Every structure is written in C-alpha cells, then in structure tokens.
Chains A and B, each alone.
Chain A
Amino acid sequence: MVKLSPLKVWGAFLARPNADPVKTLGVAFLVALVCSIVVSGTAVYLKPLHDANRLRASSGSLVEMAEALGVGLPKQRLVDRRTGTYVERSTGEKVTLTAKQDLAGLNRIEQTLTAYEVHDGDQLRLLILPVRGAGYQSILHGYLALNADLNTVAALTFYQQDETPGMGARITEKQWQDLWRDKQIGSGDGVIRLRVVSGAASGSHEVDGISGATRTGNGVSNLVQFWLGEHGYGPYLARLGQRGAS
C-alpha cells in the first residue's frame, strides 16, 4: 500500500492540469477559505475599535443635539418598554417582535429602553429618544427630540446609516433634519400621523421626502411610527403625559 503523506498529496494536487475539475474546485475552495479567514479575522480583531467608534459617534451626536437645542446635558433614564416605568438597571432581555409589530424592521428589541430627559426645575423641558430602524439598505440610528408637550418634534438627527450617497444618505443633512422642527406627532387622538411624504409636505404632520429616496423616507416614517407607538416608547410617553397633566 502506498503511504499518503500530506506533502505528496499537495504536490499531486498542484501537479494536476489547471483545467482538471478537481483542481478547479480545489483552488476555488482554498481561495475562498483563505479569504474568508482573513476577512473574518480582521473583523473580529477590529470589533472593539468599531464598537468604540460607534459609541463615540452616538454620544457625540446626543451632545451635539442638546447643544443645538440650547439645553444642558440630558439625564439618562432607563425605562421598561411594556409599562413605561423607570427601572434602576437594564435587564438585558430581548424579545422578538412579530411581523405586524415590527414596523421598523428591527426583528428583536430590548425590554429596557434608554431615554434622555432635560428638566427645567421640576418641569420636563425636552425628551430625547434614541431611535433606529431599517432604511433602504442599512439600519438608521438617530435621536428624536420632543418638546415638553410630547407632541411637537424639537429635532431629529441620524448619526449612523449606510444609505445611497447623494440620495438616502441626505437624511444626515442639516437642511433636511431642520424640516422636522415643530412638526406635530398627532392631533390629540392618539394616532401617530407624523410621516415623510414623497414630494412636498402639506400640514404639520408631514415632512418633505427626498427625491430618489422614497424607501429611505418610508424607513424613517416607519421608525418614527414604531418608536412613538405602543411597542416602542408609547407607554412611557403616556405615563409622562399623565404626570404632566396631573
């Protein structure tokens, strides 16, 4: 019996003609294997740096937003998503949303949400909510700031996205984000009417869409609807509203 040494097998493999099917499949497999190891190795090795950068971008964007609105640093509150009550610490628990609930295309959502409140003495002055949702080809991450009436938008900003440059990516432009100021979420009946329309907006519940970026606009509409709705910050907003009224 011929002894098979790895080196001999390797040599025999290389010696095969290039047109040989075994050689073709083998080369394809080996190239794919080596490339995937290199790519995933790099991704894993650099992950801590990527996470740190994203965190910095997100907190930097929050600070920027607070500064632009002329308020001090907001206070971070942890909120139970289902009851809207404050909690001391995050449970870290995540649940899967049903297709019907999952307007923002998130799939899974954490049970403990983060919100940022700005107070003026005893009165709530501003509420900043971290929001995210699927756009056209990426997940959009941003902050939505509401005035104390909890129905008027103070600002909307996105700090992370990967939409088409010059089209969907224009949601990061100040010009477009400024359109959101003073828009109304609903008209007091609990229905969330605020959305992005294609073309020019009419009324205080609509925001001009970006031409060529209808699907990004829909993504923004959906994430706003989701996070303000009953599966997002809805219970928390309702509780804050009651407290303000009493």
Chain B
Amino acid sequence: MRTRIATLVKPIIADNPVTLQVLGICSALAVTTSLSTSLVMSASLIFVLTCSNVIISLLRTQIPDSIRLIVQITIIASLVIVVDLLLQAYLFEMSKRLSVFVGLIVSNCIVLGRAEAYAMKNPPGPSLLDGIGNGLGYAWILVLIGAVRELFGAGSLMGYSVLPVVSDGGWFTPLALMTLPPSAFFLLALLVWAVRTRHPEQVEQEDQP
C-alpha cells in the first residue's frame, strides 16, 4: 500500500517531471497565459497520460520490442486526437485558444517518457497511479504559472477581475511581460530554484571539467 501511495505522490514534488526532469516545458510556456487554459491543458494531459499508461501497461507483454515506440506513439496520438476532437466539440472557444498545443501533447516527453520508462515494465494498477501522479505533477506547475501570469498580466483570475486595472478605472497597471512567453520561463526558473532549495538532493552535480 505504501509503495502505491509513493507511486502516486512521488512525481508531484520529489520526482516532478517538470521541475526535476525539465520535461514538457514547451507547452508549459505556451499555454500558461491564463488560468483557464492551464486548467484545460492540465486536464487533457492527465487524461492522455493516465489512459496511455494503462493501455500500454495492459499490452506490455505483447508489444514486440522492435516496434514498441511506434506502438506507443500510435496509442498516444490516437488518445490526443480524441481529446482534441472532444475539446473542439464541447469547449470550442477554449480549443481555439489552446490552438495546436493540445495536439502537441503527442510530442510531450512526459507521456512517452512514462510509457517507455514505467508502463512497459509495470502492471496496469501502478501504471494508472503513475500516470495520475505525473499528470498532477505537471498540472500544479501549469496552474500555478498560469495563475501568476493571468493575475499580474491581466489583473484577473479565470477571467474575473481581481486587481482592477487602470484601463477600467482601477489602480493596477498590468505587466505586459507576463503575457509574453519569456515570463513563463522566468517563473519556471524561480519555481525550480524554490523546489531545489527545499529539496537540495535534486540539485544536479556539476559537470566534471
């Protein structure tokens, strides 16, 4: 039981895919301009990651080694297309704002990374937990960065005004930098710094000269 909980919880901070392994940051930079896009992106990734982990884990004994990456990508890509189609049907405006980035989950290293590193070697139960755990590890970072960027870039959260902006007669001048991709880079760097200060064991060894 304890190992099960560890499988779920470990990727959230201790072995976080974004801050420790620095994977999947392309989408983390692109879709975090607002909290709502971050939430939808996170939910999509958790769904794809969990399903792909379980399906690949179920098939793991039957997948020939020589074509295992192709099989994994085919399964992941199909799941991503299904998610993209669902968003286009039920959350049309949101799917326009996310544009290609839901589709790009296919190439998100976290998904293929977990399939290859975990689901191919472990039974479906733990793979399910591993998928949810890694998804949540990705999600909380996206949501945090999205919230900070929307709050300081537009003075709102989920589209609701929190800090009244000057253009609407308030006092808050939005930081234009926050709406641009580099700000996500800076925020992510600060976050990595914060996590590694709390968990010094995550600091990478310096390269030997």
Q: Are B82 and A28 in contact (CB under 8 A)?
A: no
Q: Hey, which chain A residues are within 8 Å of B86, CB to CB?
A: 42, 46
Complex: A57 Cα to B64 Cα, angstroms: 46
Q: Are A49 and B90 in contact (CB under 8 A)?
A: yes
Contact A23/B74 with A46-B85, A50-B89 known, Cβ cut-off 8 Å = no
Contact A31/B99 with A24-B66, A24-B67 known, Cβ cut-off 8 Å = no
Judged by a CB distance under 8 angstroms, whether B186 is at the interface is no
Q: Are B82 and A31 in contact (CB under 8 A)?
A: no
Within 8 A of B (CB), among A21-60: 23-24, 27-28, 31-32, 35-36, 38-39, 42-43, 46, 49-50, 53, 56-57
Main secondary structure on B side of the interface with A: helix
Contact A42/B85 with A49-B90, A162-B100, A165-B99 known, Cβ cut-off 8 Å = yes
Q: Hey, which chain B residues are within 8 Å of A87, CB to CB?
A: none
Q: Hey, which chain A residues are within 8 Å of B59, CB to CB?
A: 31
Complex: A50 Cα to B64 Cα, angstroms: 38
Per the CB 8 Å criterion, the residue count for chain B at the interface is: 25
Q: Are B71 and A27 in contact (CB under 8 A)?
A: yes
Within 8 A of B (CB), among A168-199: 169
Q: Are B88 and A50 in contact (CB under 8 A)?
A: yes
Q: Hey, which chain A residues are within 8 Å of B67, CB to CB?
A: 24, 27-28
Q: Are A39 and B74 in contact (CB under 8 A)?
A: no
Main secondary structure on A side of the interface with B: helix
> In the complex, which of the residues B71, B82, B90, B101 contacts A39, with contact meaning CB atoms closer than 8 Å?
B82
Q: Hey, which chain B residues are within 8 Å of A164, CB to CB?
A: 100
Q: Are A27 and B89 in contact (CB under 8 A)?
A: no
Judged by a CB distance under 8 angstroms, whether B65 is at the interface is yes
Complex: A18 Cα to B61 Cα, angstroms: 8
Q: Hey, which chain A residues are within 8 Å of B82, CB to CB?
A: 38-39, 42
Q: Hey, which chain B residues are within 8 Å of A28, CB to CB?
A: 67, 70-71
Complex: A165 Cα to B26 Cα, angstroms: 13
Judged by a CB distance under 8 angstroms, whether A201 is at the interface is no
Judged by a CB distance under 8 angstroms, whether B78 is at the interface is yes
Complex: A14 Cα to B64 Cα, angstroms: 11
Judged by a CB distance under 8 angstroms, whether B193 is at the interface is no
Within 8 A of A (CB), among B1-40: 30
Judged by a CB distance under 8 angstroms, whether A19 is at the interface is yes
Judged by a CB distance under 8 angstroms, whether B62 is at the interface is yes
Complex: A165 Cα to B90 Cα, angstroms: 22
Q: Are A165 and B71 in contact (CB under 8 A)?
A: no
Complex: A181 Cα to B71 Cα, angstroms: 51
Given A31-B74, A35-B75, A162-B100: 4 more A-B contacts, CB < 8 Å: A23-B64, A38-B82, A42-B85, A43-B81
* Chain A residues in the interface with B (C-beta under 8 A): 14, 18-20, 23-24, 27-28, 31-32, 35-36, 38-39, 42-43, 46, 49-50, 53, 56-57, 162, 164-165, 169
